[in-house]
Amino acid sequence: MVNRRTNYHHSLSIASKLEKLKNYWGNLKGSCAIGFSGGVDSAFLLISALKWAGVKIYPVLANSCFVSVEALDQARLVGRQIGVDVLEIYWEPLNIPEIQKNDRLRCYYCKKNLYLAIKSAISKRDRLCDNVFDGTQFDDLFSHRPGLYALLELEIQTPLAIFGFTKSDIRSILRKWGFDFWNIPAASCLATQIQPGTSLTKERLNSINFELKSKKAPF
C-alpha cells in the first residue's frame, strides 16, 4: 500500500522494515534529538535508535499546558523503563496567537513551535546536533494532520513513516522485545478535546484535564 500524498510505502514484512530501520540508524552521522512523548511510537523510535545508532541521542520530552499530568507521568515512567535520561523542557503554546485561536491549522502551528522549542533546547547542549526526529508512523499519514507539513518545513525526520511502520507493527515489535508498555493507550493532546474555533485558555484546558481525571477515577 502506498500513501498517494507522500509516496511512502507500506511493506508487508515487519522483518524487512526493521532491517531498513537498522541500516538507516547505522548510517546516521552526528548526534540526534528525538521528540519523546512517552507514547509507543516515539518510544519505539527511541529504542531502535539506542539499539542501532552509534551516535549521541537526546530524547526530549516537551511539557506544556496541552499535556495532562497523567500523560507526563507516563512519559517519565516509559523513559525510566527504557533506561534513558530524558531532557524535559517546557514551552507555552498559549503565548502563540495562531495556536490560541484554535482554528483548523492549530496543529500545524503547534507542531512547528514545539519543534522549534526542541531545536533551541538541543542547540544549547550540542551545537552540532542537526538531526531531529519525530515518531510519526505510517498510519498517521492517512488522517488529517496539518502538523505533518510543519515537520516537512523544519526537516524533521520521520523514519517510521518512511519505512511503513504501522501502529500495529510497533506494538507487536515492542511486545516481542519485552517492553510491558507495548499496549498503553494513546494520550491525546488536551487541545484536541476543545472544539475548533473555540479559543484555548488555561481554564478550559484545566477543565478538560479534570474531566479526564474524573473518568479514570475508580470511584
Contacts of 135 (CB under 8 A, 6+ apart): 34, 35, 36, 37, 39, 41, 42, 43, 44, 45, 158, 160
Residue 75 lies in a domain: yes
The neighbour count for residue 189, using CB atoms within 10 Å, is 18
Residue 148 lies in a domain: yes
Specify the number of domains making up the chain.
Answer: 1
Q: What is the pLDDT of residue 209?
A: 82
* Lowest-confidence pick of 24-33, 134-143, 208-217: 208-217
Residue 145 lies in a domain: yes
> Which CATH number do you get for residue 141?
3.40.50.620
Q: Residue 97: is its pLDDT beyond 70?
A: yes
Q: What is the pLDDT of residue 144?
A: 85
Give the span between the Cα atoms of 215 and 127, in whole angstroms: 44
Q: What is the pLDDT of residue 218?
A: 46
Containing structural domain, residue 85: 14-216
Residue 206 lies in a domain: yes
Q: Residue 173: is its pLDDT beyond 70?
A: yes
Burial level of 137, CB count in 10 A (0-12/13-18/19+)? Answer: buried
Please compute, for residue 41, the number of CA atoms within 13 A of its CA located in the half-sphere on the CB side: 22
| Closest C-alpha among 191, 185, 193, 181 to residue 216 | 185
Q: What is the pLDDT of residue 219?
A: 36
Residue 9 lies in a domain: no
The neighbour count for residue 172, using CB atoms within 10 Å, is 13
Give me the helices (H) in 27-68, please.
Answer: 40-52
Helix 14-26 and helix 167-176, axial crossing angle in degrees, nearest 10:
80
Q: What is the pLDDT of residue 10?
A: 59
Question: What is the dihedral angle through the alpha carbons of 156, 158, 159, 160, rounded to the nearest 10 degrees?
Answer: 160
Give the span between the Cα atoms of 58 and 90, in whole angstroms: 16
Please, which pLDDT band fits residue 11 given cuts at 50, 70 and 90?
A: low
pTM, to two decimals: 0.91
What digits encode the pLDDT tens for the residues 160-169?
A: 999 999 999 9
What digits encode the pLDDT tens for the residues 31-66?
A: 999 999 999 999 999 999 999 999 999 999 999 999
Please, which pLDDT band fits residue 6 given cuts at 50, 70 and 90?
A: very low
Residue 47 lies in a domain: yes
Residue 6 lies in a domain: no
Taking residues 178-197, report their average pLDDT.
93
| Closest C-alpha among 66, 32, 55 to residue 135 | 32
Give the span between the Cα atoms of 6 and 160, in whole angstroms: 13
